[in-house]
Amino acid sequence: MSRKIDRKGAEFVFLPLGGVGEIGMNLYLYGYGRDGAREWLIVDMGVTFGGEAEPGVDVILPDIRFIEEERHNIAGLLLTHAHEDHFGAVIDLWPQLAGVPVYATPFTAEMLKSKLAEIGLVNGFPLQVMPLGDRRSIGPFDVELISMSHSIPEPSAVVIRTPLGAALHTGDWKLDENPLTSAPTDAERLKALGEDGLVALICDSTNAVRDGVSPSEADVAVTLARLIREAPRRVAVTIFASNVARIGSVANAARAAGRELVVVGRAMFRVIEAAQATGYLDLNLAFHEETAFDKLPPHKIVALCTGSQGEPRAAMARIAQGEHPNVKLDAGDMVIFSSRTIPGNEKAVSRIQNALADLRVEVVTDQDAAVHVSGHPRRGELEQLYGWVRPTVAIPMHGEGRHLEAHAKFAEKLGVKQVVRARNGAMVRLLPGPAAIIDDVPVGRLYRDGLIVTRADDGQVRERRKLSFVGSVAVSLVLSEKGHLLADPEVALTGLPAADNEGSSMAEIARDAVIGTIESIPRARRKDQALVSEAVRRSVRAAVNQAWGKKPVCSVLLTVL
């Protein structure tokens, strides 16, 4: 794979295509070589989720047109961990990558394989398993994985070495000596890296607005055990399915309280299987499927549920609405939200919490007790890392604008020589220094819309959003070749009020506008079908606007016999 690249004139560049200035869709490129002859290492390929602004869109992916153009110069795709915002786009986008090998640690590989298995694709997928701590060549890059703490097994930072120097890409991390899954942050290795001399630190910014250090996953385990022990009746705990440490903590708490664990939600089973296959959960972990729920007495149950983000089809939402086929909660039961609400999901989560309160179910969140800890570094942790690796250049990533800016200011305060504020699409030359933004490449978003992946600017989702505000009117017209109306026009209204404030039918208002318009067009000109359609469309929108105060979308189907 590796071509000999002349070091003379070569540059080491960093290019974020997602993950800076927004939530999710982490996608970063590291390049080595001269302009026009660079080889690339891709780090992560994640998604974010559609909200109310993207009706009907479940998943938003990064636009990879730059990668497609460069696909013959891509040495590999390396995944830092199995969170959706880091690896969720691989399956949709890898066909465009022309067989580029995908490197992942055993747990991440297992999670990817279970997704591939769902679509029958495991064989032939170019997956290379690379354990934590491993070091190998990928194209012109010498790549090493360093163990970090986070909220999933095997999160890794990546050291990317080139003949010009080295960069450290942290992935998602925190300092937690007790992450309760894979090995904690490898401080010794990071310190050694600082000794060797590191050029650039490209680092997680999520919690750069917060002082201090994040509490440990072990603290959460203690709180969950207490709450479950003291609860008088059923307890349901909702978590991010991928939080294997938390699954283990809930299972242990259930066992210690003499309760049975019931697992609710398909995503949770997938994670449990992957964690058992890689040694992060006990193979003898005892749990029931959800059909056992109503056979167990209330004081003997702990249910572990998906849907902590208010996802409407996940277990927790259906339980709260009383629509779950097997799991019902009622007065005196407890639901623990052992999770953080991702910005954008607040309304959906509070709808569920209100529905539970209406059932007189007690709701416990991280506002009430230490039932969740973040997997990202606060300033105290950032300060430690900067002290260990002592980079010449800092580039904040993984955060919204205010996180990135807080991180940049903090890095300056810590005395980092150069802080680069890059946004998606900005190509940063790391070496030879000083670092500088040297180019801009196109970036954007793709929507997974049903079975189809489209560009966000293709417009159908924008149109759908418009329909959700103003509804639509379809008009069917039949004209003779000479321009006579051969039948009464038909109108079909979707999403409009039935009548105006005076009680006149909205359909009649639309139909009158159609007839009035046709009659106002001289017969000779009615042969111009485009003119007729456009005139009808405009008049319907204007007439409805006068009656309703809103202009619906209007389509005209014109038949000439």
The nearer residue to Zn ion, 140 or 375, going by C-beta atoms, is 375
Evaluate whether 247 touches 272 at the Cβ level (below 8 Å): yes
- Supply the minimum distance, in Å, between the C-beta of residue 478 and Zn ion: 57
The nearer residue to Zn ion, 340 or 429, going by C-beta atoms, is 340
CA angle, 26 then 27 then 32, to 5° = 145
The nearer residue to Zn ion, 85 or 186, going by C-beta atoms, is 85
Burial of 494: CB neighbours in 10 Å, binned 0-12, 13-18, 19+ = exposed
Residue 531 to residues 69, 473, 489, 528, 534, Cα–Cα distance (Å): 43, 18, 17, 5, 5
The nearer residue to Zn ion, 79 or 356, going by C-beta atoms, is 79
The Cα–Cα gap between 386 and 419 comes to 12
- 176 is an interface residue for Zn ion by CB under 5 A: no
- Supply the minimum distance, in Å, between the C-beta of residue 233 and Zn ion: 34
Contacts of 484 (CB under 8 A, 6+ apart): 523
Contacts of 58 (CB under 8 A, 6+ apart): 49, 50, 448
- 84 is an interface residue for Zn ion by CB under 5 A: no
Q: Which of 306, 201, 205, 240 is nearest to 83 (CA)?
A: 240
Among 54, 85, 217, 311, binds Zn ion (CB under 5 A): 85
The nearer residue to Zn ion, 83 or 324, going by C-beta atoms, is 83
User: How many residues make contact with Zn ion (CB under 5 A)?
Assistant: 3
3-state secondary structure of 379: helix
The Cα–Cα gap between 359 and 337 comes to 16
The nearer residue to Zn ion, 155 or 310, going by C-beta atoms, is 155
Question: Of the listed pieces 31-39, 75-83, 365-373, 528-536, which binds Zn ion according to CB under 5 A?
Answer: 75-83
Question: Of the listed pieces 166-174, 180-188, 410-418, 440-448, which binds Zn ion according to CB under 5 A?
Answer: 166-174
- Supply the minimum distance, in Å, between the C-beta of residue 88 and Zn ion: 10
Residue 57, φ and ψ in degrees, nearest 5? -105, 115
- 381 is an interface residue for Zn ion by CB under 5 A: no
- Supply the minimum distance, in Å, between the C-beta of residue 26 and Zn ion: 6
- 22 is an interface residue for Zn ion by CB under 5 A: no
Question: Of the listed pieces 164-172, 256-264, 386-394, 516-524, which binds Zn ion according to CB under 5 A?
Answer: 164-172
DSSP string for 405-462: HHHHHHHHHTT-SEE----TTEEEEEESSS-EEEEE----EEEEETTEEEEGGGSHHH
Question: Of the listed pieces 117-125, 165-173, 258-266, 446-454, which binds Zn ion according to CB under 5 A?
Answer: 165-173
Question: Of the listed pieces 82-90, 157-165, 301-309, 324-332, which binds Zn ion according to CB under 5 A?
Answer: 82-90
The nearer residue to Zn ion, 156 or 238, going by C-beta atoms, is 156
Q: Which of 304, 299, 298 is nearest to 257 (CA)?
A: 299
- Supply the minimum distance, in Å, between the C-beta of residue 150 and Zn ion: 5
- 44 is an interface residue for Zn ion by CB under 5 A: no
- 83 is an interface residue for Zn ion by CB under 5 A: yes
The nearer residue to Zn ion, 162 or 205, going by C-beta atoms, is 205
What six digits make up the tokens of 17?
A: 């295509």
- Supply the minimum distance, in Å, between the C-beta of residue 398 and Zn ion: 6
The Cα–Cα gap between 258 and 230 comes to 12
- Supply the minimum distance, in Å, between the C-beta of residue 204 and Zn ion: 7
The nearer residue to Zn ion, 172 or 260, going by C-beta atoms, is 172
One-letter identity of residue 202: I
Question: Of the listed pieces 76-84, 250-258, 428-436, 478-486, which binds Zn ion according to CB under 5 A?
Answer: 76-84
The nearer residue to Zn ion, 376 or 429, going by C-beta atoms, is 376
DSSP string for 101-159: -EEE-HHHHHHHHHHHHHTT--TT--EEE--TT-EEEETTEEEEEEE-B-SSS--EEEE
Question: Of the listed pieces 78-86, 240-248, 293-301, 452-460, which binds Zn ion according to CB under 5 A?
Answer: 78-86
Evaluate whether 235 touches 278 at the Cβ level (below 8 Å): no
**Which uninterrupted H or E stretch holds 486?**
none
One-letter identity of residue 454: T
Among 22, 63, 154, 172, binds Zn ion (CB under 5 A): 172
- 340 is an interface residue for Zn ion by CB under 5 A: no
Evaluate whether 264 touches 329 at the Cβ level (below 8 Å): no
The nearer residue to Zn ion, 5 or 59, going by C-beta atoms, is 59
Q: Which residues bind Zn ion (CB under 5 A)?
A: 83, 85, 172
